[in-house]
Structure 1
Amino acid sequence: MQRYSEYTAAPAAWLGDLPSHWDVKKIGSLFSERKTKVSDKDYPPLSVAKVGVVPQLATAVKTDAGDNRKLVCAGDFVINSRSDRKGSCGVSELDGSVSLINIVLTPRDQWNGRYVHYLMRSQPFSEEYYRNGRGIVSDLWTTRYSEMKSILLPIPPRDEQDQIVRFLDWKAATINKLINLKKKQICIYEEVKKGIIASLVIHGLNDSIPMKDSGSQWLGSIPDSWKCLRGKYLFREIDQRSLTGEEELLTVSHITGITPRREKNVTMFKSESLIGYKICKPGQIAANTMWMWQGAIAVSNYDGVISPSYNTYEQINNDYIPEYLDLLLRSKPLVDNYVVLSTGIRKSRLRLYPEQFLTILFPVPPLEDQQKIVASVSDRTAQIQDLVSVIQQEISELQEFKSRLVADVVTGKIDVRNIQILLM
């Protein structure tokens, strides 16, 4: 792809050199801040996420401030002011309301909203936006309108904005199609992997050995040498709280199990204090009560704390080795059973409490069988995991290419004026 024939040094370092015929203006001269307070009863709640401005996500943290929100009109640009929400912004296609942590900007001029969307969601702008903020530590960093309004933006002629949008829509659609195909491949491999794990942890290694009815619909038949016990005979709930708040904060996910929060790109609310959070130790079970129906439960390898709304369990008689227990608790048939036992008015509101969890019938293989099953799972899923890792790397490279392409085009590093757009 070719560059423009003539460039001029931009008056802002983050822009580098710009095409000589482009203009540069401050955000404050291009937008006005919308501060109108509204209720989510009158204006539907919206989420400002990395995917843009969308109807409120099921995973969004709900508050009691429904009558104290900011109005958003279609065409407004909305950005979350907090550093731990970096990249959470976009031009809204909807009328609605957002939490007060967001900044809502209304364009003063009739320029292409999609160009604004691409420009102000680009990685260079995101970095410049947060560079202009302030705070004590990185995850408490905030950029206010008074600080962002002096940021300079590149303004191509309107017909060029329109061509940039057509080009990026075309390229983004092509790249997204490839990414989605690769994500579907991963889903297929993951389902195969889940099937292998479920078969081994529930039915054992040898199909030819004598089997018996477990007495549980979700379990079906199990090897004759295995026991089957209800959760209340295997686990006890524990509720030990942090007195200092100095422990490691852990997350409980259906995807990654239990991991330190600092290792994840988490954008959800974080409490200022961890005092009163539940202690979780290696070998103990942590269950995300709100997402058990998706399999958010695991055996911990870490010392730390989890949310006070989660549940922690420990083994009563050490009937399981931790590796087997982790595989069992997250196996698909058992997760499906969590859904059946959960209570709630709709799927996103399902909850599984200790009273239900401890009634479940669990298979209890001899410890020697558990060790062999864990080893077999590792052997039989290793190749699948290798394939998934390769595809995930390909997806990461495609996403990085798209991000770099958008940044280069909206800041004039690539000239797309004469590129013919192919119809999809």
Structure 2
Amino acid sequence: MAREMKDSGISWIGQIPADWSIVKIKAGVHKVGSGKTPSGGATTYADEGILFLRSQNVYDTGLELSNPTYITPAVDEEMKGTRVFPNDVLLNITGGSIGRCCIFPESLKTANVNQHVSIIRVNQDIFLAEYMHYYWVSPLGSLAIDLYQTGGNREGMSADAIKNTPIILIPLDEQRRICRVLDDECSKIDSVLAEIRTSIEEYKKLKQAIITQAVTKGIRGDRPMKESGIEWVPMIPEDWSNYRGKHLFYETNERSETGSEELLTVSHKTGITPRRQKNVNMFMSESLVGYKICREGDIAANTMWMWQGAIGVSAYHGVISPSYNTYRQRNNAFDLQYLDYLLRIPPLVDQYNVCSTGITASRLRLYPEQFLSFNFPVPSMEEQREIVMFLRSRVDEMDALIQKKEQFLAELETYKKSLIYEYVTGKKEVV
């Protein structure tokens, strides 16, 4: 017999079982609060000590600690009010990762957090930490964030907003049964998701390997090779040339007088694309007057992210940030598509990284004098076009396969969220 349902009184929650109720989160927690950045910021980070968690560590499937940050016990003592303990629910409350959520595990004992992560310490007589986690990672959590986040850019959840967020109150025994079922079901789904993600990364690496091989060795099979004199590619085909960047390119500095041109972005993933095609939330200037002109065929480089490969050849006429760099070919030695492939291959990106200057990764910069000092291989124009034709076919095939896998990944993630939603709203009953 179908269970009796009732209107929850909350439009975005909808129907719930008749014996369940709606309360505000503050009715079942001991603490809701976020941390802060220690005085002195990153300069206070230590090589060991107390684990210091930031939003990039918090994922729905658990903590990501491949590159951990620590603070000293003395700094932790100064911030003792924001210590994290086992079974605390951690929720990202700002920025692009807002809503990601996990439970702090017993194996880690203690940690501290910065201001982008909220600690929700549940009253275990009312809520299970596991249930609170499932609530936030379900579509209900996303809806709550959309409705209750605060701030001019609507990208932040305050402690008061979290405390006053409605949540479904379920009897503890039923919470346990729901969480056990979801743990089992989600574990199976997560295993498949992990396999798909691994497969996608392997295909992306294979794609990069094919591009690198083609643009640095050619596609004409075994042939005589020679020492290149190029630091990042030791050997090149014997009939290829090599030139220093300053003989191939020159820096341009044209500026927009009207600000009417298309605004372009420069990414290590997609190269140069119109900003309107990107889903970005970064600040945008009111006027594009004074922005740098980037013409079709120009190289545009995001100076701050060159170490990741944020460079490409533009297929558009537009403008880029004044803090970026633009370059133009001196004598058209390169086919534009061949050059675009070449500029983002891993060995060259590694060289950008090595030659960038700055104290930390977020402050690294590759300036024109460094870029123009690099040596580049130059095949004949005929061979460059052969390479481009070969790569277009191979890269399109691999991109289509990667896209298919990413689509399946998205569909499976949606299914997982819908499954959680069905159980935490009682529309699917644990038997």
With normalisation by structure 1, the TM-score equals: 0.79
- Pair 134,246 (structure 1): closer, same or farther in 2 beyond 3 Å: farther
Pick from 177, 199, 218: which aligns with 1:163?
177
Q: Does 1:5 align with 2:19?
A: no
Aligned residue for 2:54? 47
> In terms of mean alpha carbon deviation, does 272-281 or 181-190 score higher?
272-281
Partner of 1:372: 386
**Quick one: distance in 2 between partners of 1:69 and 1:313?**
51
Q: State which drifts further: 228-237 or 350-359.
A: 350-359
Cα distance between partner residues in 1 of 2:80 and 2:117: 9
After TM superposition, the structure 1 stretch with the greater mean CA deviation from structure 2, 401-410 or 26-35, is 26-35
The one-character-per-residue Cα deviations of 1:9-30 (angstroms, maximum 9, x if unpaired) are 2111111111222221023433
CA distance in 2 between partners of 1:278 and 1:358 (Å)? 19
Aligned twin of 1:383: 397
Q: Provide the rounded CA distance (Å) in 2 between the counterparts of 1:249 and 1:167.
A: 49
Q: What residue is the counterpart of 2:72 in the other structure?
A: none
Please identify, of 269-278 and 24-33, the stretch whose mean Cα deviation from structure 2 is larger: 269-278
Range moving further from structure 2, 158-167 or 12-21: 158-167
Q: Is the 8 A contact 2:99 2:141 kept in 1?
A: no
Indicate the SS of the match to 1:222: strand
In structure 2, do the counterparts of structure 1 residues 176 and 248 end up closer, same or farther at CA, with 3 Å as the change threshold? farther
Unaligned segments of structure 2, at least 5 residues: 70-77
The answer to whether the 8 Å contact 1:10/1:16 transfers is: yes
Structure 1: runs of 5 or more not aligned = 61-66, 419-424
Change over 3 Å in CA distance of 1:308–1:33 after alignment to 2: farther
Residue 421 of structure 1: aligned partner? none
Structure-2 change in CA distance of 1:36 and 1:195 (3 Å): closer
Q: Is contact 1:70-1:98 (8 Å) kept?
A: no
What do the CA deviations read for 1:350-401 (whole angstroms, capped 9, x no partner)?
5433332222111122323222221111123333333222222221221111
C-alpha offsets along residues 255-275 of structure 1, whole Å, 9 cap, x if unaligned?
2222344534456x5356576
Note the 1:2-401 alignment, pairs <5 A: 5-31=3-29, 33-34=32-33, 39=38, 41=44, 45-48=52-55, 51=59, 71=82, 73-74=84-85, 75-81=88-94, 85-91=97-103, 95-99=111-115, 105-108=120-123, 110=125, 111-133=127-149, 140=154, 144-146=158-160, 149-207=163-221, 211-240=225-254, 249-266=263-280, 269-270=282-283, 278-307=292-321, 309-343=323-357, 351-401=365-415
The letter of the residue matching 1:371 is: R
Normalising by structure 2, what TM-score? 0.78
* 2:136 alignment partner AA: M
Q: Distance in 1 between matches of 2:380 and 2:244?
A: 16
The equivalent residue for 1:64 is: none
CA-to-partner distance for each residue in 1:63-108, whole Å, 9 max, x for gaps?
Answer: xxxx9999363315434256x5553445555632323x66655445
CA gap 1:128/1:262 in 2 versus in 1, 3 angstroms: farther
* Structure 1 residues 383 and 295: alpha-carbon distance in aligned structure 2, compared to 1, 3 A threshold: same
Residues 234-243 or 328-337, more deviating: 234-243
CA distance in 1, matches of 2:413, 2:305: 28
CA gap 1:393/1:155 in 2 versus in 1, 3 angstroms: same
User: How far is the alpha carbon of 1:121 from its aligned partner?
Assistant: 2.4
RMSD over aligned CA atoms reads: 3.9
Q: How many residues in Structure 1 have an aligned counterpart in Structure 2?
A: 405
SS across alignment from 2:113: strand
Cα pair 1:15 1:411 within 8 Å, conserved: yes
- The alpha-carbon distance between structure 1 residues 30 and 308, as it changes in their structure 2 partners (threshold 3 A), is farther
The residue identity in structure 1 corresponding to 2:33 is R
Of all paired residues, the percent bearing the same amino acid is: 38
| 403 and 108 in structure 1: CA distance in 2 versus 1, 3 angstrom threshold | same
Deviation by residue 1:31-65 (Cα, 9 ceiling, x = unmatched)? 454377673659865323572585799899xxxxx
Distance 1:179 1:76 in 2: 23
The SS at the match of 2:22 is: strand
Most deviating of 116-125 and 126-135 = 126-135
For 1:272 and 1:103, the matched residues in 2 are separated by 31
Whole-Å Cα distance in 1 between the matches of residues 154 and 257 of structure 2? 23
Q: Which moved more, 1:230-239 or 1:85-94?
A: 85-94
Q: Is the contact between residue 218 and residue 334 of structure 1 (CA under 8 Å) also seen in structure 2? A: yes
